[in-house]
Amino acid sequence: MALDASIMAAAYRRFQADRDARQAELDRRNSLVRLRIPRLELIDRELGSTAAKIVIAAFEEDGSPETALRELERKNLELQRERAELLVGAGYPYDYIDGTPPCTLCGDSGYLRDGAPCRCLMTYYAREQNSRLSKLLDLGTQSFATFSFDWYSADVWPEYGRSPLENMKMIREICGNYAHTFGQRSGNLLFTGAPGLGKTFLSACIAREVSELGFSVVYDTASHIFQQFESGKFGRENPYEEAPDREINRYLNCDLLIMDDLGTEMFTKFVKSAFYRIVNDRLMSRRKTVLSTNLPVDELGVQYGEAALSRIRGEYQALHFFGDDIRILKRDR
C-alpha cells in the first residue's frame, strides 16, 4: 500500500492535535477533581509505588515473596476501591481522571510496534485524503448509495442491443464491486462515452470507497496531469503553484489514479509520451488506474499511439456509457 507522504503528514498533525486536546482535557479534570478530593493524590502515590515495593519484598522475603505480594495486592485493591468510591461519591464516573488510551493497539501513538501506521491513524489519513478529493469531486453527495438510475431510459437502443438503464445497472455493479474489493488483484477501468452520463459521478464513488479502505487515491483531470509533467520536464511556469516533481510522483505511485477528461487537453507529442509513461509505468508497478474519456476506444490509438492503446486493450476493462445527457435532462425537468 503506497501512502502519500504529504497527506500522512497532515493526517498525523490532526491526530496529534486531537491527542493533545484529550490530554489537556484530562489534565483539566485532574486539577479540578484533586482540588475537590485531596485524598486522591495520596491514593495515587501509594498505588504508584507498588512496583518498587514488589522488588523490595522479593529481596526481603528470602526469595519467597508470596506472602508480601498477596498483602500488596490486597492493599492495592482496597485503595482502588476507595478511589472509585470517592469519585462516584463526588458525582464523577469511577474512571473520570484515568488516561486510558482510546486505541489499545498502538497506545494512542498512531504507529504499531513494526512501524506501520495503526488503523486509528489511517482513519485520519482517509479523512484527510477525502478532504482533498472533495475539492475536485463532490464526495459529500456522490456515493454508490446516492447513485440514481432515474435518469436512464428503459428503451432499448438498437445499436447497443440494450437500454441505457440496463447498461448502467451493469456498470454500477462492476464499479461497486471494484471499489469494495479493491486491492492488489484489482484491474484497471476505462470509462468511455459522451459527456453527462455519470462517468465523473462513478469516479467519485470509486475514489471515496477506495480511500476509506486506506489506499492512496489521486483524482485529477488529464489536462492538469499533463501540465505537471510539462512543468517537471521543461521547467515551465506552473500556473497551479505546485511542485511538479512531487505531483508526478503522486500520479505514478499512488494505489489508484483516476484520470478524468482524457482527450480534452491540448495534444502534443509530449502529451503522447507522458500518457504512455503513465499507462506503462503503472502497469509495470502493478498500480491501478481508472481512465475516463469522451473519445471512442479506437480514437485513443489515433491520439496517443498504438503502443498505449495496446496496453489499454489488454489490461483495462472498458465500460461504455450511453444515454441522454443527464445535465440537460435536469435542466429541462
Tell me: pLDDT of 155 over 90.
Answer: yes
Distance CA 293, CA 197 (A): 11
- Cβ neighbors of 152 (< 8 A, separation 6 or more) are 163, 164, 165, 167, 168, 323
Query: Of 267, 329, 326, whose CA–CA distance to 302 is shortest?
Result: 267
Radius of gyration of the chain (CA): 29
* 80/145 same-domain check: no
Q: Residue 218: which domain range?
A: 134-332
Residue 232 falls within a domain, yes or no?
Answer: yes
Q: Which single residue is written with the C-alpha cell 495520596?
A: 42
Q: Any idea what the CATH number is for the domain that residue 149 is in?
A: 3.40.50.300
Q: Is residue 252 part of a domain?
A: yes
Q: Could you tell me if residue 31 is inside a domain?
A: yes
155 and 47 in a single domain? The answer is no
Query: Quick one: 157 and 33 in the same domain?
Result: no
User: Residue 242 pLDDT > 70, yes or no?
Assistant: no
Is residue 3 within 8 A of residue 117, CB to CB? The reply is: yes
pLDDT in tens, 278-328: 999 999 999 999 999 999 998 999 999 999 999 999 999 999 999 998 888
What would the grid cell of residue 91 be?
Answer: 458525582
Which residue, 57, 89, 121, sits at the end of a domain? 89
Grid cell at residue 12 = 498525523
Answer with the one of 30, 57, 89 that is the final residue of a domain: 89
Is 113 within the bounds of a domain? Answer: no
Domain count, the chain: 2
C-alpha cell at 122: 489511517
Domain boundary among 60, 89, 118: 89
84 plus 149 within the same structural domain: no
Q: What's residue 53's pLDDT?
A: 65
The answer to whether residue 135 scores a pLDDT higher than 70 is no
pLDDT tens readout for residues 167-178: 999 999 999 999
Asked whether 171 and 105 are in contact (CB, 8 A), the reply is no
Q: Which residues of 98-120 are buried (b: 16+ CB within 10 A; e: fewer)?
A: eeeeeeeebebebeeeeeebbeb
Banded model confidence at residue 98, pLDDT cuts 50, 70, 90: confident
Quick check: is 26 in a domain?
yes
In terms of domains, do 16 and 80 share one?
yes
Pair (84, 145) in one structural domain: no
pLDDT at position 278: 95
Q: What is the DSSP string of 175-193?
A: HHHHHHT-STT--EEEEEE
166 and 76 within one domain: no
Same domain for 187 and 73, yes or no, is no
Is residue 281 situated within a structural domain?
yes
The answer to whether residue 303 is domain-embedded is yes
What's the average model confidence in pLDDT over 45-72? 68
Cα-based distances in Å from 136 to 17, 142, 210, 260: 26, 12, 16, 11
Q: Residue 95 has what pLDDT?
A: 87
Least confident span in 60-64, 71-75, 269-273, 321-325: 60-64
Query: What is the model's pLDDT at position 161?
Result: 94
